[in-house]
């Protein structure tokens, strides 16, 4: 496992293996329990797979909302008129996911999300969709198998 560390004095990003960090920390007198606690408490950013899954999720939500005839109300900034539009993955990301993310977690970018953050936001969206009789699964191998069985 690797950790990226960014130093204030340098703008250079450096990557270290956990073992290297443990050895350095031990050399300066940190106990193994403190080292373990530090490593265990590092934030776990979303993985590349979670990133891909999020974008598939946005597409799936848009598809299901459109399939049932839901439309996204968007205001025309010139006329002030509300225009009904079909949902897209981008609308789901920007107007549903990100607005919840900012309200619930005070994080403005999806790149700031941890695995737990993603789970929290997904639960809220899944409940909102369930109230519209829409069931979505977070994209995974298991959810693909479930979908194929139906």
Give the residue-averaged pLDDT of 75-97: 93
- Domain match, 136 and 98 both: yes
- Domain match, 29 and 58 both: no
Identify the CA nearest to 73 among candidates 58, 86, 63, 88.
86
- The residue segments making up the domain with residue 140 are 48-149
**pTM > 0.75: yes or no:** no
Contact present, 129 and 64 (Cβ < 8 Å): yes
pLDDT of residue 13: 57
- Domain match, 35 and 53 both: no
Question: Residue 113, class by beta-carbon neighbours within 10 Å (0-12 exposed, 13-18 middle, 19+ buried)?
Answer: buried
Tokens of 107: 């994080």
pLDDT tens profile 1-54? 444 444 444 455 566 677 887 788 888 888 888 877 877 776 666 677 888 899
- Domain match, 81 and 16 both: no
- The residue ranking higher by pLDDT, 113 or 127, is 127
Give the residue-averaged pLDDT of 109-136: 92
The CA radius of gyration of the chain, in Å to the nearest whole number, is 21
Q: How many domains does the chain have?
A: 2
- Domain match, 54 and 97 both: yes
- Domain match, 86 and 26 both: no
- Domain match, 63 and 83 both: yes
Identify the CA nearest to 60 among candidates 82, 87, 33.
87
Predicted confidence (pLDDT) at residue 140 exceeds the cutoff of 90: no
């Amino acid at each position: 496992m690797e950790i990226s560390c960014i130093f204030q004095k340098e703008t250079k990003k450096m990557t270290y293996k956990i073992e290297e960090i443990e050895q350095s920390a031990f050399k300066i007198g940190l106990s193994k329990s403190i080292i373990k606690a530090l490593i265990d408490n590092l934030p776990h950013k979303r993985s590349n797979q979670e990133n891909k899954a999020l974008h598939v999720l946005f597409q799936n939500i848009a598809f299901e909302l459109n399939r049932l005839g839901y439309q996204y109300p968007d205001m025309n900034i010139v006329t002030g008129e509300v225009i009904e539009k079909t949902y897209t993955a981008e609308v789901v990301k920007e107007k549903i996911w990100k607005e919840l993310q900012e309200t619930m977690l005070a994080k403005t970018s999806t790149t700031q999300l941890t695995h737990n953050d993603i789970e929290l936001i997904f639960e809220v969206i899944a409940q909102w969709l369930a109230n519209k009789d829409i069931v979505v699964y977070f994209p995974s191998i298991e959810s693909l198998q479930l979908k194929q069985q139906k």
